[in-house]
């Protein structure tokens, strides 16, 4: 596996992130199209997907491009497979809140398990634009600007003392087991939930704690997509010394059934995830 290809993927996403952020202006409306998961797309979803597809598929050594916003895998030669959520939390664009771009590089054709990931990360469009990048068990944080990326933290590790939590889904739709777990956690930690997985997971990576979008009553598969959200975020949090779980095992060990399948996602402090699995048993 070539370092150059990975460097090409990461620098292309870092460079594009600055343009994507600028290009959100004037693209806050809804497109009249749906993504393969049946969700109405934002204009910005479609545009950001086109920008990233064009640039990432042009890299020598990238053989596949797939995204949460398009039905099929784009074949583009021989090499690694890049899976992207171009604008995670795009429903936050209307209210001008945090959003992200999520990516994972797999060394197997898609759909693939998280165990086939060789590198993953995300861009956070917060007050400033930052990137978390995980590879070979190490996580690095960069600040992005002017197409450049500046290292601000190396060996990012989940803080030992958990402080924050964020749980998705409506409380009435939580299973009794998950609700019991949530009641315990809310008496111990502070709530931080903004509706964009990337913003919420970055809170956990910065302050310690747990994020989850669980399986729901009537929707045991939850909401988040395995290839584009569950796997990349599981890979980053595990590389930072935390744990990921679909409720029973590491998200990275979930066998893929389809490109756009959903999976319950729980990530964060190892002890808190162990407790969750005990509760859901």
Q: Contact residues for ligand AFP (CB under 6 A)?
A: 39, 88-91, 168-169, 195-197, 213, 223-224
CB closer to ligand AFP, 37 vs 157 = 37
Measured from the Cβ of residue 264, the count of other Cβ atoms closer than 10 Å reads: 26
What lies within 8 Å, CB to CB, of 96 at 6+ separation is: none
Tell me how far apart the alpha carbons of residues 253 and 245 are, in angstroms, rounded to a whole number: 9
DSSP3 helix / strand / coil % (the chain, rounded to 5): 35, 30, 35
CB closer to ligand AFP, 88 vs 141 = 88
CB closer to ligand AFP, 45 vs 59 = 45
What lies within 8 Å, CB to CB, of 22 at 6+ separation is: none
Q: List the structure tokens of 66.
A: 């797939």
Measured in degrees and rounded to the nearest 5, phi and psi for residue 7 equal -60, -40
| Shortest separation between residue 154's beta carbon and ligand AFP, angstroms | 27
| Shortest separation between residue 113's beta carbon and ligand AFP, angstroms | 20
CB closer to ligand AFP, 76 vs 120 = 120
CB closer to ligand AFP, 91 vs 261 = 91
3-state secondary structure of 5: helix
| Shortest separation between residue 138's beta carbon and ligand AFP, angstroms | 25
| Shortest separation between residue 259's beta carbon and ligand AFP, angstroms | 16
7 in Cβ contact with 56 (< 8 Å): no
Could you tell me which of 91, 47, 45 has the C-alpha nearest to residue 68? 45
| Shortest separation between residue 38's beta carbon and ligand AFP, angstroms | 11
């Amino acid at each position: 596996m070539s370092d150059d290809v990975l460097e090409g993927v990461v620098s292309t996403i870092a460079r594009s992130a600055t343009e994507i952020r600028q290009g959100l202006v004037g693209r806050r409306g809804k497109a009249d199209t749906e993504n393969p998961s049946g969700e109405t797309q934002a204009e910005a979803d479609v545009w950001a997907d086109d920008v990233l597809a064009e640039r990432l598929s042009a890299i020598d050594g990238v053989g596949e491009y797939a995204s949460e916003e398009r039905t099929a895998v784009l074949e583009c030669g021989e090499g690694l497979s890049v899976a992207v959520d171009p604008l995670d939390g795009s429903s936050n664009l209307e209210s001008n809140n945090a959003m992200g771009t999520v990516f994972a590089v797999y060394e197997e054709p898609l759909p693939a398990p998280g165990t086939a990931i060789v590198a993953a990360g995300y861009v956070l469009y917060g007050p400033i634009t930052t990137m978390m990048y995980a590879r070979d068990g190490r996580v690095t944080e960069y600040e992005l600007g002017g197409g450049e990326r500046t290292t601000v933290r190396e060996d990012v590790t989940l803080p030992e003392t958990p402080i924050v939590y964020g749980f998705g889904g409506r409380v009435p739709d939580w299973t009794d087991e998950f609700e019991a777990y949530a009641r315990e956690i809310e008496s111990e930690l502070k709530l931080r939930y903004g509706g964009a997985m990337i913003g919420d997971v970055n809170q956990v990576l910065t302050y310690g704690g747990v994020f989850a979008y669980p399986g729901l009553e009537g929707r045991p598969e939850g909401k988040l997509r395995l290839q584009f959200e569950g796997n990349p975020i599981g890979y980053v949090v595990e590389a930072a010394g935390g744990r990921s779980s679909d409720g029973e095992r590491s998200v990275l060990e979930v066998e893929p059934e389809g490109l756009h399948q959903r999976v319950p996602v729980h990530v964060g402090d190892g002890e808190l995830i162990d407790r969750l699995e005990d509760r859901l048993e």
